[in-house]
């Protein structure tokens, strides 16, 4: 089976609706797809309907924002029950944190004379800094996303506002309580030293985490091998995900990733794929 276990729709910071994402993945040869929007499961029903029509397996997922030692990290939950009360409550807390942060950023932009970005707050789905960067580009304040983040949203800039996420341990616990498996997403993107990354993975494993995302977009063979060794060292399984957000000519779409290293234990090894995991 061809897996992609980390993708996003327009319910979070992707650009495709759930049905379009599933169709793109199916056309690319993906046979087991996880939709893992940031801090919301709102797109799973539509994605599940599309997956059934196209004959691919959908793993219900989510990507939870978490904090570890003052650093924001992301924990993917795979095979969750989207209706689980603990998960619903945890996601509601995170969505409110996002909205509070966005309101503060909008107020900061207005106070700095950049204009009124209130309309961003009214979108369906979660509100992220990506949507505020979109507004900055659309209104001519920045030429692209990179410039928008650097000038207006990065630490020390006019729009920087810290958000209060779930503690890493709580994020893992919420996923587990909802019947899912917790995966530490894209470990190399946190720009940690080797020692600090080991500390993060160690704490994640101690908290009940199940897997490390070993294969994702942008990694070379050496980085993949390092993550595979790290997963083995801490007794973690391995996951694969494109972290797809939108079609770009220079970035892989859903699927299109290399296989997991042969010595990895895939996160799907013990899944009852045709029963409890699928929607």
**Per-residue pLDDT tens over the stretch 6-53:** 999 999 999 999 999 999 999 999 999 999 999 999 999 999 999 999
The pLDDT tens digits for 59-99 are 999 999 999 999 999 999 999 999 999 999 999 999 999 99
pLDDT at 7: 97
Q: Of the candidates 67, 149, 165, which has an alpha carbon nearest to the alpha carbon of residue 105?
A: 149
Domain coordinates in residue numbering, the chain: 3-90+164-241, 99-153
Distance CA 271, CA 267 (A): 8
Please report, for residues 5, 9, 42, 90, 172, the alpha-carbon distance to residue 62 in angstroms, rounded to integers and kept in the order given: 10, 11, 10, 12, 12
The pLDDT tens digits for 134-187 are 999 999 999 999 999 999 999 999 999 988 899 999 999 999 999 999 999 999
State pTM to two decimals: 0.94
State the fold for domain 3-90+164-241: TIM Barrel (3.20.20)
pLDDT at 201: 98
Q: Of the candidates 149, 150, 121, 122, which has an alpha carbon nearest to the alpha carbon of residue 133?
A: 149
The pLDDT tens digits for 209-225 are 999 999 998 898 999 99
Residue-wise DSSP of the chain: --EEEEE--TTTT-SS-HHHHHHHHHHTT-SEEEE--BT--TTHHHHHHHHHHHT-EEEEEEEEEEEETTEEEEEEEES--TT-HHHHHHHHHHHHHHHHHHHHHHHHHHHTTS---GGGGGSSS---HHHHHHHHHHTTS-SSHHHHIIIIISTTSTT------EEHHHHHHHHHHTT-EEEE--GGGG---HHHHHHHHHHHHHTT--EEEEEETT--HHHHHHHHHHHHHTT-EEEEE--B-S--TTS--SS-PPPPPTTS-BTTTT--TTTTS--
Is 22:254 a contact under the CB 8 Å cutoff? no
Inform me whether the pLDDT recorded for 255 exceeds 80: yes
Is 214:264 a contact under the CB 8 Å cutoff? yes
Band of residue 252 on the pLDDT scale cut at 50, 70, 90 = confident
Query: How many CA atoms lie less than 13 Å away from 23 in the CB half-sphere?
Result: 8
Distance CA 217, CA 16 (A): 18
């Amino acid at each position: 089976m061809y897996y992609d276990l980390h993708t996003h729709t327009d319910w979070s910071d992707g650009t495709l609706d759930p049905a379009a994402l599933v169709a793109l993945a199916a056309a690319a040869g993906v046979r087991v797809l996880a939709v893992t929007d940031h801090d919301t499961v709102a797109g799973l029903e539509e994605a599940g309907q599309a997956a059934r029509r196209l004959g691919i397996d959908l793993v219900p997922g989510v990507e939870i924002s978490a904090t570890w030692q003052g650093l924001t990290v992301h924990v993917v939950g795979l095979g969750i029950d989207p209706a689980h009360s603990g998960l619903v409550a945890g996601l509601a807390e995170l969505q409110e944190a996002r909205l509070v942060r966005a309101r503060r950023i909008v107020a900061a932009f207005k106070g700095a004379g950049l204009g009124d970005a209130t309309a961003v707050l009214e979108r369906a789905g979660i509100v992220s800094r990506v949507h505020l960067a979109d507004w900055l580009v659309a209104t001519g304040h920045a030429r692209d996303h990179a410039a928008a983040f650097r000038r207006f949203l990065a630490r020390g800039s006019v729009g920087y506002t810290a958000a209060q996420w779930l503690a890493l341990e709580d994020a893992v616990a919420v996923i587990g309580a909802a019947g899912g498996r917790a995966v530490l997403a894209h470990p190399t993107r946190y720009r940690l030293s080797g020692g600090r990354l080991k500390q993060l993975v160690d704490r994640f494993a101690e908290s009940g985490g199940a897997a490390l995302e070993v294969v994702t977009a942008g990694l070379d063979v050496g980085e993949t091998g390092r993550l595979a060794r790290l997963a083995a060292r801490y007794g973690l399984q391995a996951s694969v995900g494109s972290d797809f957000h939108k079609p770009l000519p220079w970035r892989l779409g859903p699927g299109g990733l290399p296989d997991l290293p042969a010595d990895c234990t895939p996160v799907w090894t013990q899944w009852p794929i045709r029963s409890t995991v699928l929607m």
